Structure 1
Amino acid sequence: MFPYVDSIDNFQLTHSFAPILNFSIGILLIKCYPSLKLWSTARSDTTVILGSAFGLCSATTAMHQIGLLEKPLTPPLYSIIAPNLGLCIVRTILGMIFIYATRQIVKTVVLRVTCSIYGLDWKNPESKRLAKVEMPYYYLTYFAIGFNISFTCPLFFRAIGINRDYSYTE
């Protein structure tokens, strides 16, 4: 695996179709998950992990494509001073609000759309346990969260002037 890491990393960052490939590989891996006789959280947990990871990978590619993965010209500041600590707290609070909103919106939309496609009642808790609903429900939700954590939030922080120069390359 280790001899191929540089090649995979280069492909991940430089090819414009890498986000689509990431998304598709995640779906393929979820489809390969063994079927279960009884419902278990293992399938949804695996789907959450894959969705988050592939969302993050897609965001990294997007960040590189728009030129934000370059190292800043100035060295990083390692001392913790009050303004930086305050901005850290503001970024944390705003990021948590943004991620919570993403989670709620995407979960609601995906659940309702998926249930309507299959003719199921989205209010019925048993509908969420069906693989055909559970997989897109968790995968798309956590793909969006992983993408927003690594792409949208840093861009938002940059737009309002509370970003860290080294946040992309640490």
Structure 2
Amino acid sequence: MTEYTLIYVPDPALRAKSQPVSTFGAELRELVDNMARVMREEKGVGLAAPQLGISQRVIVLEVAQALERDGELIEPVPLTALINPQITPVGNDKAEGWEGCLSIPGQRGYVERWRHITYTAQDINGRAVQGRASDFHARIIQHEVDHLDGILYTDRTDQVETFVRPAS
């Protein structure tokens, strides 16, 4: 099994537009498994393949249990892999919120995102999937889809703060 590791800014792979996935099988399953492993080890809630240096349109996300973040109750989201995702805003409602990124440790920024989105994608077997997400769930998907286009959250804000990550 190939072991993938997280890459960090300023690695140019984080700024490249990812290629659509056209082959579904064992190699894709291995990538998704590795992405979930890295995301969990790093205590993240989402990860895009470019963050492992892989130029493929693949994201994973998971909120394992309900939690409170910046005064907001966040509902659990089961482990989800979206292949070739596309998002569409629902309505005009946007919200600002703090975001961080595993590829930019020690920073977070205040970013405006759509509150409600729908998405279409493929699952790990290539079957079409669609869904709807709101609030933090929608924020995660938008953040990770941005990675697929070489966009970092720091491109969407001028409100960035630096902090020291507490030792775990």
Aligning the two structures, in what range does the TM-score lie when normalised by the shorter sequence? under 0.3
Structure number with higher helix proportion: 1
| The structure with more radius of gyration | 1
Q: Which has the higher contact order (CA 8 A, sep 6+)?
A: 1
Higher percent of residues as strand = 2
Instruction: Provide TM-score, normalisation by structure 2.
Output: 0.27
